[in-house]
Structure 1
């Protein structure tokens, strides 16, 4: 086993966990938003359960997976720079991947901030909004994976 294959495998696993969380959290937000129209006491019980799930998902899966994705991704870049130089960092496929990573990280930050707004009762987002935006991470993943695997050029 070489270091590059180890780093790549760990990076892929971390990204899978990160993506799973990014795809599931908006669904939990949609369910939470839809509780506003329900009668008490079921609304309070369901919101408490959903918010506990949201907190666990962010703390146990999303945040560690994002950090590990970054760490292993930077490790891969370091290995690549050591073996083939830094020129690949300016290639269109790599720029697309790096922009995608920044956008995914920004989406992660937005979801984390929204969790705080939801907990404070200050969120104005609807279930429909969360269902429409639920696919944002997957669309970004499509662009990033295809740019890397095909190493497309402009």
Structure 2
């Protein structure tokens, strides 16, 4: 079981690294100077999205495996809140993909400030998820 937990955490870190950095690339895309830089940032964003998607899927796989190993956790309230946050982050992840497509099509219309604020979403979720998993308040 410890291997499952370790793999769950490793891939969670991979996923969050992408969730933290992709909106930052979006800031640079909005505030870019020159076409060559735009192409480079687009490639970086696409590759990062692929890596973070692997992280998300593996986080889910190993998280579900932990629940299969310990089904009693499903009766705990803190886990329900944590899973709700993880589902919301998965939706945020998908929304970032929609935005990546809009950048590629040239139809993205958010400002650098918007993306700086959007960059805080995973940080707040991470704090809440870690506190729930460690403290298990209810």
Q: TM-score range by the shorter chain?
A: over 0.9
Provide the residue aligned with 2:7 in structure 1.
Answer: 10
Match of 1:33 among 30, 35, 51: 30
What value does the CA root-mean-square deviation take over the aligned residues? 0.9
In 1, the alpha carbon distance for the partners of 2:122 and 2:77 equals: 20
Any runs of at least 4 consecutive aligned residues in structure 1 with deviations exceeding 6 A, and if so which? none
Whether 1:110 aligns to 2:95 is yes
Unaligned runs of 5+ in 1: none
In 2, the alpha carbon distance for the partners of 1:104 and 1:78 equals: 22
Q: Aligned runs of 1:1-154 on 2, under 5 Å?
A: 4-35=1-32, 38=33, 43-59=34-50, 61-81=51-71, 85=72, 88-153=73-138
**Alpha-carbon shift at residue 90 of structure 1 (Å):** 3.4
Provide Cα deviations, 1:86-108, integer angstroms capped at 9, x if missing partner: xx323221011101110110110
Provide Cα deviations, 1:3-58, integer angstroms capped at 9, x if missing partner: x10000000000000000000000000000012xx4xxxx1011001001001101
In 2, the alpha carbon distance for the partners of 1:5 and 1:138 equals: 26
> How high is the TM-score relative to the length of structure 1?
0.87
Contact kept, 8 Å, 1:89 with 1:95, in 2: the verdict is yes
Q: How many residues align?
A: 138
In 1, the alpha carbon distance for the partners of 2:78 and 2:88 equals: 15
